[in-house]
A and B are shown apart, each in its own frame.
Chain A
Amino acid sequence: MTTLTKTEGAPSPTGAGSFLSVRDLHVRFSTEDGIVKAVNNLSFDVERGKTLGIVGESGSGKSVTNLAILGLHNPRSTEITGEITLDGQELTGASEKTMESLRGNKMAMIFQDPLTALSPYYTIGRQIGEPFRKHTGASKREARERAIEMLEKVGIPHPKTRVDDYPHQFSGGMRQRAMIAMALVCDPDLLIADEPTTALDVTVQAQILDLLKDLQQEFGSAIIFITHDLGVIANMADDIMVMYGGRAVERGTTGEVLRAPQHPYTWGLLSSMPRLGGDVSQKLRPIEGTPPSLLNPPSGCPFHPRCEFKDKVPGGVSCTGDRPLLPEGRGAACHLTPEQKRTYFIEQIKPRLG
């Protein structure tokens, strides 16, 4: 295991200067069936005021990565190696106490399902006020005032009365707003949004996204936006990182990745997405096969069992044997030559997108 990570160790200059810098992150879970290699050799940076979109299907390691940043894994069954630095502070080896003081304060998370992510037992106001009291030492009354202020900011009508409501008295969209209010209550510098709009209908989704953008402008927070919806990410993100099988397979600015994607998996994602104004006779193309098992990941390129271009790779390298490296900056972890990537995309993939 160690030798493997050593040999493939991509050039990873320290992310000095970056607000959040993740270097060579590995997350392993021990389960009864064996060790799940949930995240492998992952490096990325996020700057203040910028949004990084992480895209990938279920089980690609997106959520695990972000839970690792917050240090929310069960330490008994999880092994995290690598470096995570937030504003110069090392997080991977930090004590539980340090992490506690950062969570909800300097870094906060918006969870996927607002129906289950809020406790049914306490009022919205109390749940929003709790981290504020903990991190600023505010009194109960100040926390309540702050909760009302936050509810107003996220657009909940009649915040003065709704603050005493319980989550079950809120609609789904309002609960997600309350979640956002809760995450933002201490003006976090880093906001991790884990599919914050997946459980919501489309109109509410658009409102929530606008809200996040407005709040980012106001607070200048760095945002990590996790989703499997490329339409959402086109709207939100400055940079995109595509993850597959616990690894980053492509990265670049939003324009680069969406307009000139280089990895066959990204092509697949784009081809499987319907477009407004697209040709209706053009069939959507799902990516064949299933996501790889992280207990027993495929050798070489993790995408090779599902890749339709694996035979096109020029001689000398094999997709089944050699793991392609993700270059620093713009690029994709794929053995195809840059010319091939360009031609295949323009000739074969682009027409499918309609």
Chain B
Amino acid sequence: MFKFLLRRSVGAFVILILISAFTFAMFFAIPQDPALLACGKNCTPQNLAIIHENLGLDKPITAQYWEFMKGVVAGRDFAVGHCDAPCFGVSFNNDQMVWDTIIDRLPLTVSLTVGGLVLFLTLGLGAGMIAARNKGTMIDKTFSSASLVLSSMQIYFLGPIVLGALVYSTGWLSAPKYVPITENPAAWFVGLLIPWFVMSLIFTANYTRMSRSTLIEQMQEDHVRTAKAKGMSERYVFFRYAWRGSLTPIVTILGIDLGALLGGAIVTELTFSLAGVGRLAVDSVLYKDLPLTMGVMLVSAAFILLCNLVVDAVYGFIDPRVRLS
């Protein structure tokens, strides 16, 4: 297990370095000078040169990359002060430390992800199980078609409808707003209720379909029939044998979704005007903010890699055939 974790961690590290280099190169491939935005309307070549120097854009790209990566590992000094490792530099736009900005935005994204996760896993797996157990009946058909309709919905379509219905026309709920859980748990909960709900509906649909089909597949398995032939109750066979077997594909998809959500649920955040990591990612590109882009990219990538690592370790718990010696 330790060897496995070590090997995977080294692999993840290499991937992160590759992603950083690629992102850096992509950024400079944009045919627009990032300093232009900071320079403003009456930009003179002198001003532009000063800004270039301030932002470090006058140096060769490789030197800039080296500086940046050195900062991530060892920290860096800026005009605004020292930046501790991991240092993703100072934003081109607001002179704030990128790391601090990300840390500031992260609680919202984590809240959104965790709340949504609890909701869509409970609803999705639950509905999938009910549908699978009642395969071919009206219940199954209702669940299956509902999930088909929902999974073809989009957050930016469903979101405004729900907002319109629950907030603007009836006033039952106030517009989504993030309040830190440490400050006021109730307000945190109420503020995120609509985003959770809308986000979950779409994910729920996918998990319903997924768990239904894998469960039905599992129930046809020979070993499930053997368990029944041993006289184990239907319930026992369903949960201990069929369900256990359906976990692997679900965990796989969950790992991918979870990593992506932690890296910023861009559409959800934009739809509900919430300022999380996803919003940050969009802004960083819009404002040609190199340090911010790098920071968001690397943090998101790290989340995805971490989730994949966890998923691979979890496989071993689910299926002894892939258990690591």
* Residues of A in contact with B (beta carbons under 8 Å apart): 70, 72, 76, 96, 100-105, 108-109, 111, 113, 116-122, 130-131, 134-135, 166, 168, 179, 182
Apart from A104-B231, A120-B245, A131-B232, what are 16 other A-B pairs with CB-CB below 8 Å? A70-B229, A72-B228, A72-B229, A100-B232, A103-B228, A104-B230, A108-B230, A109-B229, A111-B226, A111-B229, A120-B319, A121-B241, A130-B230, A134-B230, A182-B226, A182-B230
Contact B226 A119 (CB under 8 A): yes
Contact check, B226 vs A168: say whether CB atoms are below 8 A apart.
Answer: no
Q: Is the CB of B320 within 8 A of A166?
A: yes
- The contact of B319 among A70, A102, A105, A121, by CB within 8 Å, is A121
Chain B interface main SS type? helix
What are 16 sample pairs from A and B whose C-beta atoms fall under 8 A apart?
A: A72-B228, A96-B234, A102-B231, A103-B229, A103-B231, A108-B230, A109-B229, A116-B223, A117-B225, A119-B223, A119-B226, A122-B240, A131-B232, A134-B230, A134-B232, A168-B320
Contact with A along B37-67 (1 / 0, CB 8 A): 0000000000000000000000000000000
| Minimum Cβ distance to chain A for residue B21 (Å) | 42
Q: Which residue of A lies closest to B241 (CB)?
A: A119
B136 located at the interface, meaning its Cβ lies under 8 Å from any Cβ of chain A in the complex: yes
Contact B231 A101, beta carbon cutoff 8 Å: yes
Quick check: B231 and A131 within 8 Å, CB to CB? yes
Q: Which 8 A-B pairs have the closest CB atoms?
A: A104-B231, A104-B230, A103-B231, A116-B222, A119-B223, A131-B230, A166-B320, A117-B222
Partner of B225, one of A102, A105, A111, A131: A111
Please tell me if the beta carbons of B231 and A111 are within 8 angstroms of each other in the complex. no
Partner pick for A166 among B136, B223, B226, B321, CB 8 A cutoff: B321
Complex contacts, A117 vs chain B, CB 8 Å: 222-223, 225-226
How close is B192's CB to chain A, nearest CB, in angstroms?
A: 37
- A121–B230 touching, CB < 8 Å: no
Distance A116 CA – B225 CA, assembled complex (angstroms) = 10
Min Cβ gap B194→A in Å is: 39
Query: Whole-angstrom distance from the CB of B214 to the nearest CB of chain A?
Result: 14
Q: What residue of chain A has the Cβ atom nearest to residue B226's Cβ?
A: A117
- Least Cβ distance of A314 to chain B in Å? 46
Task: Give, as a whole number of angstroms, the nearest-CB distance from A137 to chain B.
Answer: 13
A194: nearest residue on chain B (CB-CB)?
Answer: B229
Chain B min CB distance to A194 (Å)? 10
Closest partner residue, chain B, to A132 (CB atom):
B230
How long is the Cα–Cα vector from A72 to B233 in the complex, in angstroms? 12
Find chain A residues with CB under 8 A from B33 CB: none
Give A122 to B243 CA distance when docked, in angstroms.
Answer: 13
A102 to B231, CA, bound (A): 7
| Smallest Cβ-Cβ distance to A168: which chain B residue | B321
Q: How far is the CB of B158 from chain A (nearest CB, A)?
A: 35
- Closest A residue to B227 by CB, please name it: A119
B318 interface hit (Cβ, 8 Å)? yes
Interface string of B190-226 (1 = CB under 8 A from A): 0000000000000000000000000000000111111
Contact for B232 among A108, A109, A113, A130, CB less than 8 A = A130
Say yes or no: is B141 at the interface (Cβ < 8 Å to chain A).
no
